Amino acid sequence: MRLPAASWAIGVATLMIAHQVAGKATRDALFLSQFAVTALPKMVMASAVLSMLAVVVIARLLAQFGPLRVMPGAFALSALLFFASWILFAVAPAAISIMLYLQMGVFGAVLISGFWSVVNERFDPYTAKQTIARIGAAATLGGLLGGVLAGRVAEAMDVRAMLLVLGLLHALCGIGVRAIGEGRRTVGVATDLGLLPGLQLLRQQRYLQGMGALMVLVAVLAALLDYAMKAQASMRYVKSEDLVGFFGQFYAFVGLATFLVQWLLGPRLLKRFGIGPVLALMPVVTVFAGLLGAGVGRLWATTAIRAAQMVTVNSLFRSAFELLYTPLPPLTKRPTKAIIDVASDRLGDVVGSGILLALLAVVPGLNSAAVVIVAVVVALLALAVTLRLHRGYVEQLAASLRDGAISLAADEVVDATTRHTLAELTAASERELLAARIRQMKQQRSAGDAPPLAEHGDAAGITPDPAGVPLAAAVTALTSGDERAIRRCLTGSFMDTRLAPCLLPLLGHDALASDVRMELRWMVPRLIGTLADALLDPDLPLVARQRIPSVLEVTHNPRAVEALMSGLDDDEFNVRYSSARALARMRARDADIDIDGARVFAVIERELAVDERAWLARELDYEVELRGDAGDLADVDNPRMNISMEHVFTLLGLVLDRQALRLALRAVASDDRTLRGTALEYLENVLPDELRRDLWPWLGETTEGATRSNRPSTALVEDLRRGVDA
C-alpha cells in the first residue's frame, strides 16, 4: 500500500531532526575528544565559510533542477560521507573529527532548507497549512529521539557506531524525500536574483542593515556561549562516549523546551506585546542569566545560560524576526532574505570565532566566566539594536502601506505591533470621512432641500479620483435617492472605500440593504474604524446602525471584535442585540476569538438590572436578518422566548459552552419540570453567583437556598441532551 505524501514528509522530518540533534552531539564529542577546546573557534570559522559557499551552490542547483531532483542526491551524498567516516575513523580519528565537523556545518542547514522547499512545492496552500503543523510536531519528536539515540548508542557500543547510525538516517531521509513526490502545481523558473542586487539594497536601506546587524550579533552571542559551555564540558568529561551522552541530553532538552515555549507563549506574547518586546526578550534573558551565572563558573551554570539563549532564539526570537520582513515588498525581500538569514548568521559565527581567538591570544588561560561576560556585552548591544529596529519596523510598515508597496489583510495580522500600526494609519482617515459625511447629512436635514452630495464632494470629505468620472458618478448615484440608479452603482464595476460614507446610510433602506452589506463586506478590513464609529453614531438611522454588526463580523480582526464589544454598551437595545448576535456568529466560526469574559458578564448584569416593564417591553422594530443561523441559541418561534432572555443567553454563549446553553435555554422554556430543574442546576454550576442571583427572578425562580450542585457539569449536560432529544 502506497503511503500518502504527508506521511512521508512527517517521517522524513522526524528522521532528519533526529539526525541533526544526534549529529551535533557526535560532532562535538568527537572533536573535543581529539582536540583542545581552544581549537573550536577555528573550526567554527572554517565551517561557517564553507556553509556560505554551500548555500550559494545549493541555491543555484535548486533553481535549475528543482528540490525533488536535488535533495535525494544531497541526502545520499551525506550518507556516503558518514559511511566513509565510519570506515576510516579507526585509522585517522583526528581527521575524521574535522571532516565530521565541516560536514555537519555544510550539510545541516542546507538539507533542512531543501527539505522544506520540497514540502512547499509538493502541497497546495490549503493542504500545507494542515500538514506543516504535523511536520513541525514530528520534528520536535525527532529532536527528542536524536538526543536519546546519541546517548544510548554511545553507551551500548561506542561513539564510532554513531557514524554508521547517522549514515543510515540520512539514507532513509533520501528515500523518504524522493517518495514525497512532485507537486501538481506548475513551478515557474526561478529568477536568478544573485548576491549583488541584495547587497545593493542592504547598502541603501538602514532598516535592512539593522536586521542584518541583529542577526550577526545573535550569531556572535551564540558562538561565545557555545564555547563557554563546551569548554566546561571538555574539562568535566574525558571519554567521547560521555561527551556524546551529555550533548545528546542537552540538545534534546533544548528541543523540547523550544517546542513548549513556542506553543505555550509564542503567539500569546506576540499578540499581547508585539514584535519589539518579544525580540528583546532573548537578549534580556541572556543578560540576566549571564550576570547570575558568570560568577558560578560551573558546568551547570554555563549550560543553563546557553540553553536559555538557544530556547528563546529558536522559539520567540525567530518567530518575531520573521515578522520583520512584513513591511518589505517582494522585490526587496527576495534578494535580501537569504543574505540576512544565512550569510549574516554565518558572518556572526566568523566574528564570534575571531573574538574568541583574539581573547585566547591575549589570555591563553581564558576561563568560561570571562567569555560569558563578553557575551553579556554582546547581548546588550543586541538589545540596543532590537529597540532601534522596532522603531524602524513601525516606520517602514507605515511608509510601505501609505505608498501601496504592500497590502496587508487585517485578518492575517498576528502581532500587536502591526495591529496597532494598521489601526493608527486607517483610523484617522476613515473617521474623518465619516465625520464629514455626518456633517453633510445634518446640513441636508437642516436645510431641507440641500443640493446633492455630488455637487459638494469636497464638503463630504471625498476627494475625486484622478480620472474624475467614476468616483463622482458613484457619489451622484448613491446620494440621488433613485433606487434604480443606486442599484446600478452597487452592481457596477466601480467601488471604492471612499464611498463608505455614502453607503452607510443606505443600510437603512430595506430593499438595498443586502446589496450594500455585500459591498461593505468586501471592503471591511479597510473600513473597521469607519464602521466602528458609525455603529455608535446616534445621528445615523437606527436601522442602518443595527445592520452594521453583520458587516463587521466577516473579519475576525481584534479591532472588529472591540467595535462589536463597544456596541454591547450602546443605549439602543437594537444595536446591543445585533452586536451580540454578530459576536455569537463569529464565536461559532472561530472558538479562539479573544472575548473578555468579565466585560461580557458586566454587560449581562446591566441587561438584567432593568425593571420588569422595560424587560417585557423590549421589541425589535425591524425584521432581524440572519435569524436561525449559528448565532441563535434558541428556537426563534418559541412563544415562551422573550427577546430580553434570548439576548442574555446570546451574551452568555460568548463566554460559556454554547451547545450546553442551547440545551439549557430550551429546557428552561419547556413544560417538563424535571428537565427545567436539570437546566437550572446546570446554570447554577456555571454562572457567577451575582449573575445567577440577577437572572433567577427573570426565570421565575427565587434565589433563596440556591446552592451549587456537586454533580459535574458534563453529567448535567448529558441529562439535558437526553431530555431535550426525547
pLDDT at position 167, please?
93
**Amino acid of residue 407:** S
The dihedral over CA atoms of 412, 416, 420, 426, expressed in degrees to the nearest 10, equals 10
390 and 428 together in one domain? no
pLDDT at position 356, please?
93
DSSP calls for 641-688: --HHHHHHHHHHTTTS-HHHHHHHHHHHTSS-HHHHHHHHHHHHHHS-
389 and 425 together in one domain? no
How far apart CA 199 and CA 270 sit, in angstroms, is 30
The dihedral over CA atoms of 58, 62, 68, 74, expressed in degrees to the nearest 10, equals -10
485 and 376 together in one domain? no
Residue 292 inside a domain? The answer is: yes
* Close Cβ partners of 683 (under 8 Å, ≥ 6 residues apart): 664, 692, 695
- Residue corresponding to grid cell 538557544: 310
Residue 306 inside a domain? The answer is: yes
51, 109 contact by CB (below 8 A): yes
In what helix (H) or strand (E) does residue 10 lie, and over which residues does it extend?
helix 5-34
| Cβ burial, residue 258 (10 Å; 0-12/13-18/19+) | buried
**Assigned C-alpha cell, 669:** 422554556
pTM: 0.57
255 and 301 together in one domain? yes
* Close Cβ partners of 331 (under 8 Å, ≥ 6 residues apart): none
- Residue corresponding to grid cell 455630488: 454
Residue 96 inside a domain? The answer is: yes
Counted domains in the chain: 3
How far apart CA 315 and CA 249 sit, in angstroms, is 19
115 and 162 together in one domain? yes
381 and 442 together in one domain? no
pLDDT along the chain (726 residues), means of 10: 74 88 87 88 88 77 79 93 93 92 85 76 55 68 75 71 91 91 50 58 86 94 93 86 83 83 80 85 94 84 93 86 78 71 85 93 88 95 92 78 58 61 51 48 46 36 46 82 84 77 88 84 84 90 91 87 92 91 86 85 90 81 50 49 83 84 77 75 81 84 55 61 58
547, 570, 587 — which closes off a domain? Answer: 547
* Close Cβ partners of 5 (under 8 Å, ≥ 6 residues apart): 122, 123, 179, 180, 181
Number of H helices, E strands in the chain: 33, 0
Sign of CA dihedral 698, 699, 702, 703: negative
525, 547, 569 — which closes off a domain? Answer: 547
Provide the residue range defining the domain that includes 432: 410-547
407, 442, 476 — which closes off a domain? Answer: 407
Sign of CA dihedral 113, 114, 117, 118: negative
| Cβ burial, residue 651 (10 Å; 0-12/13-18/19+) | buried
378 and 446 together in one domain? no
Question: Cα–Cα–Cα angle for 212, 216, 221, nearest 5°?
Answer: 150
Residue 673 inside a domain? The answer is: no
204 and 250 together in one domain? yes
How far apart CA 514 and CA 497 sit, in angstroms, is 18
138 and 200 together in one domain? no
327, 393 contact by CB (below 8 A): yes
133 and 205 together in one domain? no
How far apart CA 292 and CA 311 sit, in angstroms, is 18
Whole-number Cα distances in Å, 651 to 546, 674, 691: 16, 26, 12
Residue 290: which CATH number? 1.20.1250.20
166 and 209 together in one domain? no
Secondary structure (3-state) at 156: helix
42 and 56 together in one domain? yes
